[in-house]
Amino acid sequence: MRAETPACQLLARQADDYRGWWWVAPPRDPWLEAGQGKAVSADLSVRAAWQAAGRPALSPFEVLPEDSEGTPPGAVLFWPKSHALGEWWLLWLCATLPEGTPLQLVGENQGGIKRVLKVLAALGLGCRKRDSARRCSLFETRLARVAIDPDAAWTSFEVVLGDERLRLSSHPGVFGHGKLDDGTRLLLETLPGVLLAGGGDERSRAFLGDVLDMGCGDGILVAWLARRGARVTAVDVNAFAVEATRRTLAANGLAGEGLVKDVLVNEVLESDVYSALAGRAFDAIVSNPPFHLERAIDYGPAARLIDEASAHLRPGGQLILVANAFLPYPDRLERAFGGFEILADDRRFRVYRVVKG
């Protein structure tokens, strides 16, 4: 099987025996998925592809089982676009694997892989450049215990929405890390007019129904909806986002799956779009769907969100999503539902709604 991604093409030409190694934060690549070793990824879709091929794959938030052959002989870290996320993976590996474990770090030059030299030096880890090709670089070092706990990467910040305050938890790699995305803010400003019922001020009105937050990120939509009586299911393909949402709910007194003020709320799941939701339907689906995959544009998850939404909406249920104004979602909404309306448009973002007949 030939490697397709540049980083894997660089690795494929090495003389190393990678059997039993960990592939950490790997891209989708048939050379990896048909090879040896174990994937460790926060991306559910990557883990699912490996598992479908009969290969072991784990989330960093799972308890890592002891391999029958002992600890891995080495690990390869694919340096992500987010430099802070790469640093977290490095700290996590230092805390997880034995001292002296060989580590290779690979990535595209445009993605900042050369900056790992300074990161490793700051941690007291030696490093040498191993190879370069396909506009990628490969470095190698050995793991050691460092003084920084990986959990130090978790941060929290406060968002003010009118007279309401929400405390959000965030982590590198989570959408909108450390700030409220402008599109999500526009969506939150729009939702009261279409989801909430009852009189009085906005915070006293309630939405008594089942809501799906697709792509929950740091959990701001879940917390906002749960405070208003919605029974919320939140999903994200990113394990960091799922953990961030759970921490956000805890920070706002909404933690736990079960009854909160006599309302069932706060189910948070890893799901590749609707993969964990077979047979389930909701009164509303809300989303600020992603369209970036590293530096490329990928409409796949948003397309599936729209195309499969009808099967997960009850009669009269609403799909409400916010998107950059330039994205070609109107045509897809038209094909999937036969029509749509624009609830808000600030020239940068639009909030769309469709209602299932």
List pLDDT tens digits, range 190-206: 999 888 765 556 665 66
Range of the domain at 331: 154-355
Task: Using the 3D structure, point to which of 122, 150, 178 is the last residue of a domain.
Answer: 150
CATH of the domain at 21: 3.40.50.150
Q: Are 239 and 228 in contact (CB under 8 A)?
A: no
| Cα separation, 203 vs 331, whole angstroms | 35
Q: Are 94 and 146 in contact (CB under 8 A)?
A: yes
List pLDDT tens digits, range 26-59: 999 999 999 989 999 999 999 999 999 999 999 9
List pLDDT tens digits, range 284-333: 999 999 765 444 555 688 999 999 999 999 999 999 999 999 988 999 99
Average per-residue pLDDT in the chain? 90
Q: Are 296 and 327 in contact (CB under 8 A)?
A: no
Task: Using the 3D structure, point to which of 150, 175, 206 is the last residue of a domain.
Answer: 150
Q: How many independent structural domains does the chain possess? A: 2
Name the pLDDT band for 258 (thresholds 50, 70, 90). low
Task: Using the 3D structure, point to which of 133, 150, 167 is the last residue of a domain.
Answer: 150
List pLDDT tens digits, range 195-239: 876 555 666 566 768 999 999 999 999 999 988 888 899 999 999
User: Are 139 and 233 part of one and the same domain?
Assistant: no
| DSSP secondary structure code for residue 65 in this structure | P
| Cα separation, 191 vs 321, whole angstroms | 10
Q: Is 9 helix (H, G, I), strand (E, B) or coil?
A: helix
- DSSP bridge partners of 206: 197
| Cα separation, 175 vs 54, whole angstroms | 30
In a domain, 1, yes or no: no
Backbone angles phi, psi at 331, to 5 degrees: -60, -40
User: Are 87 and 222 part of one and the same domain?
Assistant: no
User: Are 232 and 260 part of one and the same domain?
Assistant: yes
pTM, rounded to two decimals:
0.92
Alpha helix ranges (H) inside the chain:
6-12, 30-33, 44-52, 83-96, 116-122, 182-190, 192-195, 220-226, 239-251, 300-307, 329-337
User: Are 144 and 84 part of one and the same domain?
Assistant: yes
User: Are 130 and 198 part of one and the same domain?
Assistant: no
In a domain, 225, yes or no: yes
User: Are 101 and 220 part of one and the same domain?
Assistant: no
CA terminus-to-terminus distance, the chain? 48
